[in-house]
Amino acid sequence: MSWTQLHPNDESMMKKAGAGMLSLELDGTDYLFMVGGVGPTPAVKHPQFQYDQLKDGYVRTNEQLLYNLSNGQFTVPFVSGQCCPPTIFFTIEKINQNKGTMFGGVVTHEGFPIPTDSVYTFNVTHKTIHWENVKKGSISGKGLWPKERCDHAGAIITHVSSSPALFVIGGWEYDSTKLVNDCLLLDYITTGQYSCKKITLPESVTGRYSHSLTAVTMSPHCVWLVIIGGYKGTEFVDIAGGLQKVLRPTFISDSDRLMIVELVYSDAGEWIVQSVLDANDLTSKKYQEKYSSYSKTRTWWMDQLMEYPTEKEMQLQRYIQLLQEKLHVFYQDKVSLQEALIEANKKGLLACIISTFILI
């Protein structure tokens, strides 16, 4: 693996931590979309964004940038809709090539930092980011709504017969030392008919914050959620020879540092937990056999996907073929009409045809 600095240091741009970034594709060009963060007061403040001055001298912002990977240029976009406020320590995930979702984080309330439970979706074009704030009344689930949190982790999973879904695991309440010990599934995020439900997982999976989460599709009906690292809480530690105590985070134990949640899509049309594997399980022969089986299935599935498209893809191909056939017939009719007019003109009949048309 090799690393390349994409853009030189630029003192005119705000230095940030706790921001979010994802990759997008717009008209065949790859972009990085960046939003939010906290840092020193920037030399340039863009009027379409907010910059909250904090008591420690830093600034929290909802500033947004698009970075063109082909030419190395930054674009400061316009913003429309219900944009997120200045936020840090949130999750931001890509739904499709130019659409994403953002959940949670830390915002400013009356000058103080508080965790938020806000859910946003956004659409990106070359010049505009359009935001929508998902209202609590628009999510079904018997009154269930995600709890306020920050430093959580999220991942988008998809199935051929369902809308993309957002999985959210863990986090903490920021203004206290309390963990948000749960796993939530926000479904149907592309249709507007949102739903939210809790997924039961062991505390060894959900009881953490500042961790990483990614989704690996193993087959058309199976996804592995891979959870790595994080903190499991805080504890007071003696410093200065025991004369002072400070609160420090405690790391996840070695056995729980890397975990895999196996999800399968049931006949009832919902994601269910098939198994949960910790670091000890990942070294077992049973896991090696399962991974080998999935790996072969996944390779076969990807090959079949290329050679044998899904029903939706075949329907689209048939529709395109039908349009092409109609266009071909239209072109042939147009050519036939032109040929008939030319032939009629040659025989001196065109004037007669026109006169007859006028009389009619």
Using one digit for the tens of pLDDT, what is the confidence trace for 173-198? 876 678 999 999 988 777 767 788 89
pLDDT value, residue 309: 52
pLDDT of 278 above 70: yes
pLDDT value, residue 145: 78
Helix (H, G, I), strand (E, B), or coil: what is residue 167? Answer: strand
Straight-line distance from the first to the last Cα atom of the chain, in angstroms, rounded to the nearest whole number: 79
332 pLDDT band, cuts 50/70/90, is low
Judge contact between 32 and 99, C-beta under 8 A. no
Kindly state the tokens that stand for 331. Answer: 């072109």
Highest mean predicted confidence (pLDDT) among 4-18, 56-70, 146-160, 177-191: 56-70
> What whole-number distance in Å separates Cα of residue 207 and Cα of residue 179?
7
pLDDT value, residue 246: 75
pLDDT of 52 above 90: yes
Across the chain, what does the average pLDDT equal?
A: 83
Radius of gyration over alpha carbons of the chain, in Å? 28
Model-level pTM? 0.78
pLDDT value, residue 356: 46
pLDDT value, residue 136: 74
> What whole-number distance in Å separates Cα of residue 34 and Cα of residue 62?
10
pLDDT value, residue 292: 82
Q: Which helix (H) or strand (E) holds 341?
A: helix 311-346
